Amino acid sequence: MDKIKVKICCGTSCFVMGASQIQVLEFEPPADIKDKIEIEESRCLNYCHNTAAKYNHGPFVEVNGELIEEANFEKVVNKIREIINGTIK
């Protein structure tokens, strides 16, 4: 099984809205998903530049290409577990 790609936006607004807490995934990931993920930080994923949205909904994280808005540690971990469980079935 390929590793799950997690892309965390570390641009200024995502960072202050909580991306720094999501980075914990890289250094202390939960044991069950530790070997199954590949983390990549991005300087800016450019989602915040979409001014059509009223305000931006950072932090933004991509899990296997799927966008999570207003991401936090739990949301991202749940998404990863969903994918793992989904592929096992």
Q: Which of 7, 18, 26, 81 is close enough to bind other proteins by CB under 8 A?
A: 26
37 vs 56, beta carbon nearer other proteins: 56
Q: Is residue 15 at the binding interface for other proteins, with CB under 8 A as the rule?
A: yes
Torsion of CA 52, 10, 24, 18, to 10 degrees: -50
Question: 39 phi and psi, to 5 degrees?
Answer: -95, 140
45 vs 77, beta carbon nearer other proteins: 45
Parallel, antiparallel, or unpaired: how do β-strands 61-63 and 66-68 relate?
Answer: antiparallel
Residues 6+ apart with CB under 8 A from 62: 5, 6, 7, 45, 68
Q: Is residue 68 at the binding interface for other proteins, with CB under 8 A as the rule?
A: no
Q: Is residue 76 at the binding interface for other proteins, with CB under 8 A as the rule?
A: no
- Binding region for other proteins (CB under 8 A): 10-13, 15-17, 20, 23, 26-27, 40-44, 46, 48-49, 51, 55-56, 58
